[in-house]
Structure 1
């Protein structure tokens, strides 16, 4: 194509920008908490060239890494740069798009046969003093956290065998080990999954492979103190469909979901599979933990169908966001029993982009945060993002008692996934930082980053940082405190 498609994935808030820039000493309204010192890294898909196919998805956009930096003196700066993947470099050299449909190499220009297709556009991951940009269709790319320079594809010093690495790792708060996996580990539409552990220094210490019931979009997973937990939902890939030039993902409403659970330091032969409901879909997990009775509780943002419009189209489905149903759901698996059943309860309303404090990872927890859509909104939502409309409600939930507090945005506004900044003060829940979009007039778009008291989100932001340059919607982010940046292996 010679120009970007006139579709929701490439217009409005989703219109491509494709510009690297730096902004210094940003305007701040309110007071930035003294504990907020460090960097908020964001993964932003942004296509450098018009796609080869008009029905392309925003998720195909080239990865860009942005950093909102809170300096020691309270000054706030913003920087954004492309991730110089092999794919991006090939297209820049050609001056046009060369890679075809989303995750389908059979639709690529022949000139890029065998070139790494990942756009590394989903999650920045900080571990062992390194910053990685991840997307689950390939290996990560290492980035310089100070300059945002791309350092190259990352395979843990040549040790990683899996061809893929999840965009959602889990870091144990006590051991500082990083647990992760890669699905389609040995190629397209494969049922092979690699389960991996890296120690606190980032050295890969374990890699085991196992088969899942079917090739599934396994976007996220969870750990407990003793288990690794692998949810499988019925959005599936098929090699013959890909070879015919079709879509990578199709969702099946009549196919069962599954949860595989194994000892996190055990052998994959110890995996137990639990059978879940048909047709459901989850992209992100809030948390997972064990209780004294030997049960594993997994809290996830579930919907009754896959939420992505481009996957629904490929599946012959048309379920609008307001009809997706679901909620913040708890699935419970009894590891002391012998059957494959699980139980389900609803903890909170539908939503996504959940967040907990890092210290609560894999442990019983008293609070979490996620985004939702306000059912009482008196006006239109802000259209944009990969699902079609942005979230406009920030929720704080106490899963044990069902208490929910919320901050509601006005019509034509949206909020992106928050990061959590811990507090050193006893009893203080820390801070949340989120990027915000607000239409204030027909051609007046405000964009910025807001800081909330995590224990009192309903009170509104304690500080607002204005970004005087248009931003494209992010996918996920990561908070790195200044003390960790100072220990970076890259200077």
Structure 2
């Protein structure tokens, strides 16, 4: 194609921006709390070139790493391409070489053998290093001070898996990183690799096992005793890919599964627990132990939330027809045949955020995004094609829910949590808000809002004005100044 298609994946906050830039001393409305000292990193898919196919999707865009850098009450903004093998090959060719989402059989022949990952999903900080990740390949290390790409990360040559999840889990008390890769053995492999890296970033364990069917596994959870993979029936098929078809197709008649094993155990100890038919969840909030019980809180829908995955499976439902809820699954591992007990916790939504200290442990609040019907028509954009317009704070123990809305027609991105040293203060949330300037859905200005995490209903205590229309992020991460100062890669910011 010679131009960008005018579909939901290329308009609104998915409008290609294609610009690397640095802006110092952004305009600030209000006052930045002194404890917010560090960097908010964002994974931003954007398009270097027009796609080969009109039905291309936002998740197939090249990765950019963006940073809001907080320094003594001032805020700078930077954004750079992640220089993956794929990005560099297309830069040299000055055109798109890679075809449909995760289907190498649709690529230009000159791209054969080039790593296809776009590293566009999650910035991950661990062991003094920053990585940009996407689950179809290994992560790329980024210099947190310059945003330059250092190269692919394989744990000093010890990692065997060809893939690395976009959602590792870090135990805040031990500093360990727990991760996995599905399709670990290559395209359409049914193997999953489960790894643990110690607090210093050294790989200390990698074990492999097989799925009951070849599913996308975007997220997983840990507790103090267990590691748990929720597996949902959105499946891949090699013959379909060879025919030029979609990588993922949701199968509404297949059951879901939970794979549960001791987090320091062996894959031979794994237990498989059958779940509901046809459901889907891309993000889990948290999980924790309660005696023999394990509670798993997840953003659950009755089918796949991505239209391109539904339609590939023959499911034709409008986005507003999808049913779901923030849901708790509970299993009793003292039983020989554990069953999933299900109860709703809160309204439907996604992109949950948890305080780092609560990871894998009992928790009293979390945050996630949802849709406020009073907010007007949603802004097009984001990975699903429709943006959220409300931020929710939920207390899962008692169901208390508070909500922050945004201006009419505006969009809100996944927040990052910044902790406070004061145990009586809940910290802050950082979230980018895209505010319309006109009826044109691609004409908006992006602001970073700072919100008291336990008082979201009061709205922002400060706004950082970029004066720019920023492309939608997928996920983001907060890194403190102390961690940045101790990073393994150094360089002038």
Whether TM exceeds 0.5 here: the answer is yes
RMSD: 0.9
Give distance in 2, aligned partners of 1:262 and 1:165.
19
Contact 1:282 1:300 in 2 (8 A): yes
Give distance in 2, aligned partners of 1:455 and 1:319.
36
Matches within 5 A, 1:3-402: 3-71=3-71, 73-292=72-291, 294-377=292-375, 379-402=376-399
What is the CA-CA distance between 1:321 and the residue it aligns to?
A: 2.5
Q: Deviations over 1:207-252 (max 9, x none)?
A: 0000111111100000000101011000000011111111000001
Contact 1:288 1:299 in 2 (8 A): yes
Secondary structure at the counterpart of residue 417 of structure 2: strand
What is the CA-CA distance between 1:114 and the residue it aligns to?
A: 1.0
Contact 1:305 1:319 in 2 (8 A): no
**Residue 406 of structure 2 corresponds to which residue in structure 1?**
409
Give distance in 1, aligned partners of 2:88 and 2:352.
34
Secondary structure at the counterpart of residue 362 of structure 2: coil
Give distance in 1, aligned partners of 2:164 and 2:326.
26
Give distance in 2, aligned partners of 1:301 and 1:227.
20
What is the CA-CA distance between 1:408 and the residue it aligns to?
A: 1.4
Give distance in 1, aligned partners of 2:244 and 2:437.
43
What is the CA-CA distance between 1:383 and the residue it aligns to?
A: 1.6
What is the CA-CA distance between 1:365 and the residue it aligns to?
A: 0.3
What is the CA-CA distance between 1:290 and the residue it aligns to?
A: 0.6
Comparing 401-410 with 204-213, greater Cα deviation is found at 401-410
How many equivalent pairs are there? Answer: 488
Give distance in 1, aligned partners of 2:404 and 2:136.
35
| Structure 2: gaps of 5 or more residues | none
Give distance in 2, aligned partners of 1:192 and 1:271.
14
Give distance in 1, aligned partners of 2:8 and 2:229.
32
Contact 2:413 2:473 in 1 (8 A): yes
Secondary structure at the counterpart of residue 485 of structure 1: helix
Give distance in 2, aligned partners of 1:227 and 1:250.
30
Give distance in 2, aligned partners of 1:13 and 1:45.
11
Contact 1:273 1:340 in 2 (8 A): no
What is the CA-CA distance between 1:311 and the residue it aligns to?
A: 1.3
Contact 2:431 2:449 in 1 (8 A): yes
Contact 1:217 1:235 in 2 (8 A): yes
Secondary structure at the counterpart of residue 81 of structure 1: strand
Q: Deviations over 1:179-213 (max 9, x none)?
A: 00000000122210000000000000000000111
Contact 2:31 2:73 in 1 (8 A): no
What is the CA-CA distance between 1:445 and the residue it aligns to?
A: 1.7
TM (norm. structure 2) is: 0.98
**Residue 436 of structure 1 corresponds to which residue in structure 2?**
433
Contact 2:125 2:479 in 1 (8 A): yes
What is the CA-CA distance between 1:367 and the residue it aligns to?
A: 0.4
Secondary structure at the counterpart of residue 268 of structure 2: helix
Give distance in 1, aligned partners of 2:118 and 2:385.
21
Give distance in 1, aligned partners of 2:173 and 2:133.
24
Give distance in 2, aligned partners of 1:457 and 1:190.
43
Contact 1:382 1:411 in 2 (8 A): no
What is the CA-CA distance between 1:388 and the residue it aligns to?
A: 2.0
Contact 1:172 1:362 in 2 (8 A): yes
Secondary structure at the counterpart of residue 9 of structure 1: coil
Secondary structure at the counterpart of residue 96 of structure 2: coil
Give distance in 2, aligned partners of 1:426 and 1:266.
34
Secondary structure at the counterpart of residue 283 of structure 1: coil
Give distance in 1, aligned partners of 2:249 and 2:425.
44
Comparing 304-313 with 145-154, greater Cα deviation is found at 304-313
What is the CA-CA distance between 1:418 and the residue it aligns to?
A: 0.1
Give yes or no for the alignment of 1:426 onto 2:412. no
**Residue 459 of structure 1 corresponds to which residue in structure 2?**
458
What is the CA-CA distance between 1:375 and the residue it aligns to?
A: 3.1
Q: Deviations over 1:243-272 (max 9, x none)?
A: 111100000110000000000000000000
Contact 2:445 2:470 in 1 (8 A): no
Give distance in 2, aligned partners of 1:62 and 1:369.
28
What is the CA-CA distance between 1:380 and the residue it aligns to?
A: 1.4
